[in-house]
A = this chain, B = another copy of it.
Amino acid sequence: MIRREDALAQDAADPLAPLRERFTLPQGVIYLDGNSLGALPKATALRLEQLVGTEWGEDLIRSWTKHGWIDLPLRVGDKIARLVGAAPGSVAVADSTTVNLFKLMAAALRLRPGRRVILSEDGNFPTDLYVAQGLVELLGNRHELRLAEAADIAGAIDEDVVLVSLTEVNYRSGRLHDMAGLTRRAHEAGALILWDLAHSAGALPVDLAGADADFAVGCGYKYLNGGPGAPAFLYVAPRLQGAFRSPLTGWLGHAAPFAFETGYRPAPGIARAIVGTPSILSLAALEIGVDLALAADIAAVRAKSLALSRLFIDCVVQDCAGLGLTLAAPERDDERGSQVSYRHPEGYAVMQALIARGVIGDFRAPDILRFGFAPLYLRYADIFDAVHILREVLATKAWDRAEYKRRAAVT
């Protein structure tokens, strides 16, 4: 029998508990959607005020050097590198996750010219698949995107595969791939591997260098709390940087951007992955979020993430039995990211009813209720309370109202 007092005791013993005070969180809301849009760090508003009022407003164009705007993509990249086990100089902040996927996939195909298959997971986040489809079409359909079920990926890596493109944590199920094992398997077959860390960076320990990964991308607005649509990042292993050629050859990725030469020459190192002028407002906000993520010990983050998830699952077993939920996430902790998902035939309406009661998770078609656990600002008591409300919604069929079933364009 889990009681609310137990959750409160966990909060009292939580070494990460003080970090919650560094976020703005609305009253009356239990926010289980930090894996879609992370919460607002209190320091962000102040940083933006300074950036806009002083740096842009007063120092204008001079801020590119005076306030180091020009260094932001690599400076914030180096900070993110510490979160994902990457060496300094191997991560840049740039563009969106999708655009970065395109750069890396196109570069991978050029590094293994004889091979033709991009292998990904059936059920990978759509943009990862769409980018591969668009690239294959652009290059004249001489390559092919092949999909395999999560459990069959390792077996599907053969001599035709140029690139294995996987999201470490599945956006729907929360299933966590074995990065080290699959990277080893890809390399044994002579393939390259690209890891999408959208649901990993800031939520669990990632060791890109230790796994010997080739490429990675990740998202700034989820567990890094960089704000809506924060710029993304990308990683190129140092051993590949010399041969890496981005298909997006922009002036800020040039070896000498301010020489305004007629011919493109790639900048040394990861800087060649930068394309156009970065959005400084968004980059500055991202830096605050990354700094906050760096303030926490990532092992403690992972431990709390799993404890929150375990508490959620246990509370659902205790309180929601027979109410129509089916666990859609791996049972084992070591196979799960920082979220838990359930299927429910009326999943959309159930989530709307929850949101109306202040429990914010999200719905993923066709029938997935997704609950994300951001350890920097969630409390164990929040989990207990959320499941209590979930039980109430299900037991009373509170979801069975027309207003909850009417789907909005964005959910």
Chain A residues near B (Cβ < 8 Å): 24, 26, 29, 31, 33, 36-37, 39-40, 44-45, 48-49, 52-53, 56-65, 69-70, 95-99, 102, 106, 122, 125-127, 129-131, 133-135, 137-139, 147, 221, 227-232, 245-252, 254, 257-264, 275-283, 285, 355, 360, 362, 364-365, 408-411
Query: In the complex, which residues of chain B have a beta carbon less than 8 angstroms from the beta carbon of A251?
Result: 98, 125-127, 130
Chain B: minimal CB distance from A101 (Å): 9
A258 to B64, CA, bound (A): 38
A84 to B251, CA, bound (A): 25
A26 to B59, CA, bound (A): 8
Query: In the complex, which residues of chain B have a beta carbon less than 8 angstroms from the beta carbon of A130?
Result: 249-251, 254, 264
Given contacts A95-B96, A228-B281, A281-B227, contact A360 B62 (CB under 8 A): yes
A262 to B125, CA, bound (A): 8
Copy number in the complex reads 2
Query: In the complex, which residues of chain B have a beta carbon less than 8 angstroms from the beta carbon of A135?
Result: 247
Does the CB pair A262–B122 fall under 8 Å? Answer: yes
Jot down 11 A-B pairs with beta carbons below 8 A, ordered by A: A26-B59, A39-B57, A49-B49, A61-B360, A63-B228, A64-B228, A95-B96, A96-B276, A98-B275, A129-B264, A260-B365
Query: In the complex, which residues of chain B have a beta carbon less than 8 angstroms from the beta carbon of A252?
Result: 98
Does the CB pair B49–A61 fall under 8 Å? Answer: no
Chain B: minimal CB distance from A298 (Å): 24
Query: In the complex, which residues of chain B have a beta carbon less than 8 angstroms from the beta carbon of A65?
Result: 408-410
A58 to B37, CA, bound (A): 12
Query: In the complex, which residues of chain B have a beta carbon less than 8 angstroms from the beta carbon of A246?
Result: 134
| Beyond A37-B60, A228-B279, A279-B281, 16 extra complex contacts between A and B, CB < 8 Å | A24-B53, A24-B57, A31-B60, A33-B61, A40-B53, A56-B227, A56-B228, A95-B276, A97-B276, A99-B248, A130-B254, A131-B249, A137-B245, A229-B277, A230-B279, A279-B279
